[in-house]
Chain A
Amino acid sequence: MLTELLVRSSNHHRPVTLIALLACIAILNAAFLVSIIGAQEDARSLAFQAFTGLADVYKRGGEAPDLVAKLNTAIDLIQQAQIKRNSGDGAGAAALEEQARTQITEVIGNIPAAQQDADRVNANRTLAMILLIPISVVVSTFIFYVALRTWRTYERLKLYEMTIIEKKKTQD
């Protein structure tokens, strides 16, 4: 009875069912595409996020060449994934994107430490520059003082020597 009802119903509403089926396929397809684009955008957004953090490290006066190299490797993986996806290899693309995401997450995880290092390096550099002023003043003044004293001593000795010679000449 139920089967008969279903068959009758399906026969009666065949165009509606077909449209509903097509709509379901379209929705699933769109959802699949959105998930693919989402995965791509996710990896790319993560790369931008990591770059923003690294740019801040460099702006603070620090350097993080290892993290930059790792981010570049991840960017390469994202591009390879895009090529694979365009050629129809969705599974290969997803695997590469996962690798890229892992690497970028590691980079992002290391950024706070790199920022702290950059702050420390910058503070040390500023401190060294600030200390350089009194140190160079003291050292330069000391050198100038020693040179002046040496010159004066030399002059005094020379004068003393001349006085002795003068005395000897007078005695003769």
Chain B
Amino acid sequence: MIAFAIITIIVASTLAYVALNPRPEEQFFANWILGSEGMAEHYYPNDDPNIGLREEVRWTLGVYNHMGSLQYVVLRVKLLNSTMHSPNDALGQPSPAPLVLEFARVLVNNETWSIPFVWEILNSTVTGGHVTITSLSINQTSLTGQFASAVSGYNFRFIFELWSYDTNTNDLTFSWRTDGEVRSVWTQIWFNATQTQP
């Protein structure tokens, strides 16, 4: 009887310890882009990456929080050409390209956030064979500026960087540490803006 009681104590204590101290899971964010039908296909109208002026492109951006805690996330949208620097994964540094727009939200653990991203090129200029996008509409918000230019309008890309608020430094950060490694999340999608007339 005493032996049984001792075994029961050991089993119950082990179960209680495991319940109170769950095994730490890998912490990560995920970020993705889906096409017009919410699938990983049909990213461009008629599947043609040559986007004309005032041609509407529909994507859905996704963010998943698996950091094991509440997170303040900011998805930063940048427009680059092929020669501008992408974010550096090894150093956890963001792209130096200027910010076009950002989306922010607080996510609980295991929450997925879907962001409709409907955009069109409103205006572009051609100078010396370079096409410069000067006006964009994103989610019915008009944005103007010298966003990026590309030779003959080929190889523009949108980069979506995931930033989160670090409560230790009281600032937004592009990278985080897990298992002693620097991690960061970003995605990109390419397109051409070869048609400068609607």
Contact = CB atoms under 8 A, between A and B. Distances in A.
Interface of A: 47-48, 51-52, 54-55, 57-59, 63, 65, 68, 71-72, 75, 78-79, 83, 86-87, 125-126, 129-130, 132-133, 136-137, 140-141, 144-145, 148
B167 to A, nearest CB: 5
Main secondary structure of the interface of B (DSSP, over half): mixed
B105 interface: yes
A145 B106 CA distance: 54
A126 B170 CA distance: 31
Given A48-B170, A59-B69, A144-B1, A79 B104 contact: yes
A86 B19 CA distance: 51
B104 A55 contact: no
B108 interface: yes
Residue with the highest number of chain B CB atoms closer than 10 Å, among A55, A126, A148: A55
B12 A51 contact: no
A86 B1 CA distance: 78
Contacts of A130: 16
Interface of B: 1, 4-5, 8-9, 12-13, 15-16, 19-20, 69-72, 102-106, 108-109, 141-143, 165, 167, 170
Nearest to B5: A141
17 contacts: A55-B70, A55-B72, A58-B108, A68-B70, A68-B108, A79-B102, A83-B141, A86-B143, A125-B20, A129-B20, A132-B12, A132-B15, A133-B13, A137-B9, A140-B8, A140-B12, A144-B1
B106 A71 contact: yes
